[in-house]
């Protein structure tokens, strides 16, 4: 969290599961993702001597019915 706290490209961030190593979930402006991952990865490795794992997701339309071929659904 400290590594992204003042970054204007980060719209929001939250710490999750901190008791077991934890992770952060960050909402980042799309055009800034690559640069942010590079900077945070370097800083994280320098501080912890560990490689950072990054998972990039994106917002979708939410849940919907997936057709099963059965027109009665």
Distance CA 21, CA 28 (A): 22
Residue 71 covered by a domain: no
DSSP-derived letter for residue 5 is T
Highest-confidence segment of 20-24, 30-34, 54-58? 30-34
Place of tokens 């560990």: 50
Residue 31 covered by a domain: yes
Residue 36 covered by a domain: yes
Residue 30: the pLDDT is 94
Its domain, for residue 34, covers 1-59
For the stretch 30-51, pLDDT in tens is 999 999 999 999 999 999 999 9
Residue 50: the pLDDT is 92
Residue 64 covered by a domain: no
- Nearest to residue 28, comparing CAs of 45, 61, 3? 3
Domain count, the chain: 1
């Amino acid at each position: 969290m400290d590594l992204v706290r003042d970054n204007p490209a980060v719209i929001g961030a939250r710490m999750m599961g901190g008791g077991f190593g934890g992770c952060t979930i960050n909402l980042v402006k799309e055009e800034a993702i690559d640069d942010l991952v590079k900077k945070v990865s370097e800083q994280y490795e320098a501080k912890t001597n560990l490689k950072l794992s990054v998972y990039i997701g994106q917002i979708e339309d939410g849940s919907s019915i997936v057709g099963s071929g059965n027109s009665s659904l």
